[in-house]
Structure 1
């Protein structure tokens, strides 16, 4: 089979091969270089019938099974956070066929749940969660997989507006998380509890101050536990940035409801929100995912509005909209549009 040189460079080995995409009699090799994932996704989108033939788990070819699944999951998570759905779907299907290990299967399956959640395909997410619920009892670490099933189900139910079910599910996850060493999974529980409370705040005319405190404390615990992660380091770094951004949005308290004036926010809350956004921009911006960038610009819009810089607020919201549309992330498109509508109405 003739090979087209990957990323413009011909190589004689597969050491750095990221993905091999086939189209009829051609094979396009794409190597691990800046922009490689976007290039592979663009190729799959542009060529109907193209398929993934080979996917290297990073630059490491011979690795222990546990190392291999960490690399696979982290790369699937990156594709999901970047909104590169065509490549994500190809690779998730490829690895599900290749693996016979039940632990690996459920880890890949749960990344499919997350991708469906990002795309607002909530019925699909719930079906995959049901499949995961049937599978986790056959794995070597059922408690850890069940914990993730629970907090992902809480997220899906929250997005679907089923708040009572989301509350019950995240409560069950919280009880399990008390036995965990701090890391990415315990952080996932605290983060999803915080976002559920933040949703309650957003939909309340006069939210209780204690709700803000609970949401804030859970975001802070999530940030602490993401920092403690020692296995899924790349993913944890990405999620850490998102937690900082969501904490800043909570503190800025810009809601899309029609209000005569913004709710007063204490100066220390504004200062903390500003510091959170600066932390992400100063230390995490390189390699930041599309979803986190989208939320960062939304938070910057909120901060500009608090400072009465209306044009800056609108510009940042427009940037968030562009990022959300490009991926696309439907919920984030709606959120950015609601911000723009609010600025137009109140500005």
Structure 2
């Protein structure tokens, strides 16, 4: 502001009045100040301004696993749309499934005095947020619960969805159904594995450890898993959209018999493949909206006990999961 004041030939107080749209500045003087601001590329610090006034900083923080994942893109878009209507901006970061990175991002956002936080947790220890929560910063956890703090949480029906996938495949005659999941320490992966096992028991199938593969997956590792499962499994349930895509890539051009396939999470163009991919669909935008609604309710003064919202999952039959054994 000193540079702007010198260039415009006015006092710092006059610059402050122009920047904050206060009365009492002659129009010609205001024009000189605005011209100086444009020339110098000056941008006012809204966060600092609002902190001095003891009001909102106009921002919320959103910590995701990976903003490049189409599912989380849908979550982000929903949060942005609701925040825009509430006059706030969204600051977003990817944890890359690393608890240390999640903590770093969350605390960085807090240091910028965001009004609230939405977090897809990568870890299970969130005590580091307690000082911020006690100071009045609301926190809502998405897709997975917090490990050791009580807070609003929005989940999807992971167990019910995976069980429905097994039921659907068993109804088409499959008795040897494999499950390919993510790291078992991840809440959604563990819950979907639990649902798979429950689905097997409900269908009269004994869960077999040799048909379950958990852990990090890429196209090469998935191709190896499918080769190993050949002759063992006639159907596969995949634990997330990325694993489903790796399976499809591994099967492309292969002469091996194609197993029946049901994937958890829908994904773009799934309905245009041959055969179209049967999925367990849940609305990413609904997850983002539900989380944002909870957060803004807290910002509006809601002091009710923490809520736990579970969103439904539905099986969309398209062809890949309807192959008879």
TM-score > 0.5 by shorter chain = no
Higher RCO, Cα 8 Å, sep 6+:
2
TM-score by length of structure 1 reads 0.24
Higher helix proportion: 1
Structure with the greater alpha carbon radius of gyration: 2
TM-score by length of structure 2 reads 0.25
